[in-house]
Structure 1
Amino acid sequence: MLNYLKIFITQPKKIHQAKKLSFWQAFGLVIIISGVTLLPIFTQLYRSYQDLSPSLADIQSKIPDFEIQNSEMILEEDVNSFIYEIDSSLFIFDPHGEMSRETINKNLENGYLMAGGFLENELYVANQLNEISLPYQAVNGLDQSIFSGSFFTQFLAVFSLVLIVSVFTAVILTSLFTALFVKLITLLNGYKYSFGQVWKIVLAAFLIPGLIAFAATLLNLNSLFLTSIIRIIPILLAVYSIFYDPEKHSR
């Protein structure tokens, strides 16, 4: 497996060799890619946590008592929606639905590493590479005590577990949908690959963009343009590698 990983990262032309992976090797590759995908997310999450921690008491003072009950936010007193700016992050409290996901994501164009908070029907967090949503149905019982230091740390731990499961699921679904598109390209060109082979090749093609995203995060080079490029790289790498596969016209 290590030899395969070395090939997938250093020799893009040979990514097509992923078609030889066994099922369990492919499953292991899903886990590895999920880990690589999580690296930039957790890096930004840690930075935002460092920014947010000193401001928890101030944020708590601005938010009325609330509790998530029956998938709804119940407020002790009415309050206007607001945005709290913390260095490279934005915390949003919007129980009245005045801000959409699109509005929040647009703020990321201004150089913020992460933005998110309590929206009308969900707990939402996004950076320039990924986004995650927890409907209030999944966090019933949550209240303003989340902003106390110890509880906030515990919440982040649970949130991280949810994030891991979400990313793992997203890697599988995204790779399957991408494989469908690449499979169509192979059919149009008369290349004889099974869907399983194409899926494994696509999986391998996710490694390089994942590492690029991590490097961009470390260097603070994230942008919506770079994110758009990173998202199409797996397709380009998969098709590029298949083109150089000497066995593309035979099983």
Structure 2
Amino acid sequence: MLSLIKSSFFQFQQLLEAKKLPFGKVIGYIFILGGILTLPLAYKVSSVFHDIQQDGQKIAAKLPDFTIENNQLNPVNSNEKGFIYQTDSIIFTFDPEGKRTEKDITTDMVGNFLSIGLLKDRLVVAMPSTGASTALLGDNQLVIPYSEAALKSLDGEHIREYLEKTKIPWWMYLVAFLVSLYPSVINLLVTLLFATLGATLQTKMRRTQLSSFENFKIVVFAATLPVILTAVIHFITMNFDSTMFILIATLFIYNQVTKGMTRKEKKSD
């Protein structure tokens, strides 16, 4: 299998040998390719984690002393009128006077990763609307009244201490990679199936003796170079149609494989 991976860069005609590989190894290689495609996204997610950590520390420096009394936000300084503080990834609202609403916190989120509000009588966290957040929360907004036992002991000192000392654990990066891997593998698999369909049409037209199953194995290894090029481009910009590029480039490489096969057949005749 290692020789096939090397051949996928320079010796395309050798990829014909992929048809002899066990199907399990081919599936395993699809996950490897999916992992390569996931790297740029995982890198950007890790950058977001870092930004959130840094921004959280900035917010901690601005956060005034407060306590929760009678299920309401109570600043230690009675002259504290509240504020809105914006960073690159977070908009934080401190509103002990009750001037802002849950809807305001969500509206603030435009262009930001998180919008967090310590309102007069509740904590509001608004997140980008995704399938995962909607499935878990039923909405992209989490609202917790201060009457909840978990928030009754909330105060400014503990939040500042937590934000200043807390670091993103290493396993969060691993989780981000694994979560990103699933859609990458599924999308790649669908692309490879379409490429296999195109490859099978080519073999029918050229009357070469390759089954659809064998074509699929060859296509998987033919996708190696397109996948790596796509990953490199995604490190620069995510605004790139990777699906179409991988499909067309893979079929081009597959075409080189079958061309070599056809020439050999003609010589033997």
- Asked if residue 162 in structure 1 is aligned to residue 179 in structure 2, the reply is yes
1:5: which partner in 2? 5
Alignment of 1:1-40 (within 5 A): 1-40=1-40
The amino acid that maps onto 1:3 is S
C-alpha distance in 2, partners of 1:29/1:195? 18
Q: TM-score, normalised by structure 1?
A: 0.61
1:179: which partner in 2? 196
- Worse overlay, 164-173 or 226-235: 226-235
Unaligned runs of 5+ in 2: 60-86, 96-100, 116-126, 145-162
- Deviation of the 1:135 alpha carbon: 6.2
Aligned partner (choices 226, 231, 236) of residue 252 of structure 2:
236
CA displacement 1:105-161 (0-9 Å, x = unmatched): xxxxxxxxxxxx612xx25xxxxxxxxxx362256698489xx76689876654432
Aligned partner (choices 92, 98, 102) of residue 61 of structure 1:
92
- Deviation of the 1:83 alpha carbon: 2.7
| Alignment CA distance shift 1:2-1:166 (3 Å) | same
- Deviation of the 1:43 alpha carbon: 2.5
CA displacement 1:1-43 (0-9 Å, x = unmatched): 2112111223223323222212122122222212222222223
C-alpha distance in 2, partners of 1:241/1:32? 22
C-alpha distance in 1, partners of 2:192/2:21? 15
Give the secondary structure class of the aligned counterpart of 1:191: coil
Give the secondary structure class of the aligned counterpart of 1:49: helix
C-alpha distance in 1, partners of 2:204/2:247? 23
1:108: which partner in 2? none
| Alignment CA distance shift 1:230-1:150 (3 Å) | same
Unaligned runs of 5+ in 1: 65-75, 86-90, 94-116, 124-133
| Alignment CA distance shift 1:159-1:62 (3 Å) | farther
Asked which structure has the greater CA Rg, the reply is 2
Alignment of 1:144-163 (within 5 A): 157-163=174-180
- Deviation of the 1:232 alpha carbon: 2.1
The amino acid that maps onto 1:77 is E
Aligned partner (choices 205, 224, 231) of residue 214 of structure 1:
231
The amino acid that maps onto 1:118 is P
Q: Is the 8 A contact 1:84 1:92 kept in 2?
A: no
Give the secondary structure class of the aligned counterpart of 2:53: helix
Q: Is the 8 A contact 2:219 2:254 kept in 1?
A: yes
Q: Is the 8 A contact 2:39 2:177 kept in 1?
A: no
| Alignment CA distance shift 1:208-1:187 (3 Å) | same
Q: Is the 8 A contact 2:4 2:221 kept in 1?
A: no
The amino acid that maps onto 2:250 is P
Q: Is the 8 A contact 2:192 2:247 kept in 1?
A: no
The amino acid that maps onto 1:136 is T
- Deviation of the 1:192 alpha carbon: 2.4
Percent identity between matched residues is 18
C-alpha distance in 2, partners of 1:198/1:237? 12
